[in-house]
Structure 1
Amino acid sequence: MLTLRDLNRATLARQHLLERHKGDVADVVHRLAGLQAQEPRPPYLGVWSRLAAFERDHLHAALHAGTIVRATMWRATLHLVTAADFAAFRPLLAPMLAAAARRFPGIDFDAVTAAADRLLAGGPLTFNELRPRLQQEFPDAYDRALGYAVRMLTPLVMEPAEDRWSFPRDPAFGLPSIDLDPAPRPEPLVERYLAAFGPATPADVQTWSGLGGLRRVMAAMDLERLAGPGGAELFDLPDAPRPGGDVPAPVRFLPDFDTLVLGHADRTRVLADEHKRLVSTKNLRIRAVYLVDGFAAGIWQIKRSGKKAKLLLSPFRATPLEALEEEGLRLLTFAEPEAASFALEVADGV
């Protein structure tokens, strides 16, 4: 039977949070099956926590080369994924995304997506540019509903710019230049999930992906079955890394919306139940956390004042500041390269 610490270490190993990966940025994004990217900066910090010798320009260049794209993917949210994964998995998500679009009734979805395809064939547009053009053709529809329908139903990729974190506040979206898989299958998705997040239950895979019906798929696959904490049945890839709960885990800082925090139905392998309310806000924001001994030990945020950059820590449990200082200062210098001074500070409480 796997203990909670066994699960923690297995997942951290696959997330490159026990030891940073010594490859390139596209390899890490591929291995993680993407990073959540509602905002431009967090994926950069997520890669930084997992990739040795990572520099901002590495990801910036990959986005401009099109080997990594920012697009609506898992759970109908924006992610950074490799172009190959976008082509392979975006069609598999189409039914889930179509169901999300149906939250707005009374829209002729086929007509709207056909109009969007025609408008975007002339080049990328921001949604502030696209919505008014759509409303000219569909004057009785709510403009935000039109935009949302296009986001869900039309495979789009966000156009990178020269901003520090590669995307402006109002980014343009365009039609992809790669062919999508005409016959996607769920089994490769399950394998990729387990390689990045396993061992796991079907509910875990469904929570991460937004897809349903995966228990039947996983039961038919050649997967190893393990007993987890409390006797839960877990699925895993044969010979996947499971280093054991006694392996040391270094301090790591994870950004807002990090894929690890959002990757399971049962998050206790990283985040204790009593701390969930401190990480998930009422407006659905997932706060940045830091890991001590493999588990979330507090939340953090960067405060910038002039040339001073400060990492403000709000601990869940007491941790000596010196244990966090080296990694925290490295994070600060990466995130705020133009600052002249860097410091860590512990807040009074969460």
Structure 2
Amino acid sequence: MTDAPVLSQRALNRTLLERQLLTRRTSHSALQVIEHLVAMQGQEPNWPYIGLWTRLIDFRKEELNSLLQDRKVVRSTMLRRTVHLAVADDFRWLRPTVQPIVSSALKAAFYAGEIEGLDLDELARVGRELLSGQTLTRQEFGRLLVERFPGRHGGRLAESVEIMVAMAHGPATGAWGRWGNPPRVPVTLAEEWNGRPMAASPEPETMIRRYLAAFGPATVMDIQAWSGLTRLREVVEGMRKQLRVLRDEEGRELFDLPGAPLADASQPVPVRFLPAFDNALLGHKDRSRVISDADRKRFAKVASGGVPMFLVDGFVQGTWSVQGSMLLLAPFRPLTEAETAAVLEEADSLLAFIALDAPERNIAFVDDEMVPVNRLHAGQRIRNKVS
């Protein structure tokens, strides 16, 4: 094992960007990209659109909206107990595989007080019965559940059932137009939405292989951080003979698919704007391959992946936010003239995607010193872009 090849941090960075489709935009379809990435975080509707725009040639918002409407992509709770988008066929096995982390939410005080004393199997059975053959908002679903379980909080009951039973969210909740969480979420039994039953058992080996294709090489801890699951070392050990073993500069053991390409550490990469919670930012326990520990600590209270960021030379160098037709850029440190030009060029393209019909679009550099990135400050540098 000591003879395992060692990969530098820059080699890991370039390999991650290659596998995340961030070194060059692809001509693949949005469906193919979502499938490759396994799942895209989609708690706030607009972010997956940005994640696809930054990876695809000529991506149009209508493409993802159609995939949701046509039920080819499912919006639901999955990895890390958060809302993601996944290809319908992948959701069938992915949700049962990550069900342990999803179910763990029921132990939180937020739910525990409202479901204490209930037979959870009975609650799940009743929930299935009430939802069968129809789509209801969580509020409507909760009111029906309270009729069967009087004296309980309808919202907590509805959410508890959704934790135990795989459901798909109505496509309107994933439509372009909101930077925040949708206020009302319609839910449907996932097997009815997909027209196929969910997988009968977890498929952790499938999940690990798919993860490595899009995020590898990676440690067991990386796989666990991405999925939210624990105790995966035994699974990986059982797969060891089917995997390639490498090491990072710290000596940590990395696993990868045999024959998966490794990028040249010297490979130049373009500026890229990433949405909040992007796969590339949240795919590892050790995220230093894309963001330094010092920069990550700037956002410890909101999680480093929970803020939209931009990459320069492959690494996070600042944050961005949008106010209408204004794009705000907050670099962590001074950019060179060439870096500034590259950032502004990509920012122009992003803003055109976000605010296509705006008669005037603006880009502003704002202060990074713990100032909220979604607030414009008078007197700071503004670059005007007229469409």
Q: Same fold (TM over 0.5)?
A: yes
Q: Which of 57, 67, 76 lines up with 2:72 in the alignment?
A: 67
Q: Structure 2 length normalisation: TM-score? A: 0.85
> Alignment RMSD, CA only?
1.9
After the TM superposition, list the runs of 4 or more consecutive aligned residues in structure 1 that deviate by more than 4 angstroms.
282-285
Greater mean deviation of Cα atoms: 286-295 or 174-183:
174-183
Determine the structure 2 residue equivalent to 1:172.
186
Structure 2 CA distance for partners of 1:346 and 1:166, relative to 1, 3 Å: closer
Are the aligned partners of 2:138 and 2:159 in contact in 1 as well (CA < 8 Å)?
no
1:33 aligns to 2:38 (yes or no): yes
- Structure 2: unaligned runs, 5 residues or longer: 1-5, 370-387
Which region of structure 1 is more displaced relative to structure 2, 94-103 or 5-14? 94-103
2: CA distance, partners of 1:262 / 1:148: 25
* Preserved CA contact (<8 Å) 2:13 2:289: yes
Structure 1 residue 108 displacement after superposition: 2.3
How far apart in 2 are the matches of 1:266 and 1:226? 16
| Residue 181 in structure 1 maps to residue 195 in structure 2 | no
Query: Which whole-Å CA distance do the structure 2 matches of 1:98 and 1:294 have between them?
Result: 36
Query: Aligned ranges for residues 283-294 of structure 1 at < 5 Å?
Result: 286-294=306-314
CA deviation vs aligned residue, 1:44-73 (integer Å, no higher than 9, x gap): 100111111211111111111111110110
1:227 corresponding residue in structure 2:
247
Distance 1:213 1:285, change over 3 A: closer
Conserved in 2, the CA contact under 8 Å of 1:160 and 1:166? Answer: no
Q: 1:282 to 1:256 in 2, by over 3 A?
A: closer
How far, CA to CA, are the matches of 2:267 and 2:305 in structure 1? Answer: 31
Deviation, 1:229, is: 2.0
User: In the alignment, what sits opposite 1:127?
Assistant: 138
Contact between 2:217 and 2:256, CA under 8 Å: does it hold in 1?
Answer: yes
Would you say how many aligned residue pairs link Structure 1 and Structure 2? 346
* 2:215 corresponding residue in structure 1: 197
* Contact preservation (8 Å) 1:126, 1:173: yes
**Aligned residue identity for 1:84:** D
Distance 1:288 1:336, change over 3 A: same
Residue in 2 that maps onto 1:248: 268
Q: Distance in 2 between matches of 1:282 and 1:346?
A: 22
Which of 22, 26, 30 pairs up with 2:27? 22
Per the TM alignment, residue 244 of structure 1 is displaced from its structure 2 partner at its CA by 1.7
- 2-structure distance, mates of 1:260, 1:97: 22
What SS does the aligned partner of 1:343 have? strand
Letter in 1 for 2:61: R
Which one-letter code corresponds to 1:322 in the other structure?
A
One-letter code aligned to 2:169: M
Which consecutive unaligned segments of at least 5 residues does structure 1 have? none
User: Offset at 1:284?
Assistant: 8.9
Give the 3-state SS of the residue equivalent to 1:20 in structure 2: coil
Letter in 2 for 1:55: R
Cα distance between partner residues in 1 of 2:330 and 2:183: 28
What is the TM-score normalised by the length of structure 1?
Answer: 0.94
Partner of 1:115: 126
333-342 or 205-214, which deviates more: 333-342
Rg larger for = 2
Shift of 1:161: 2.6
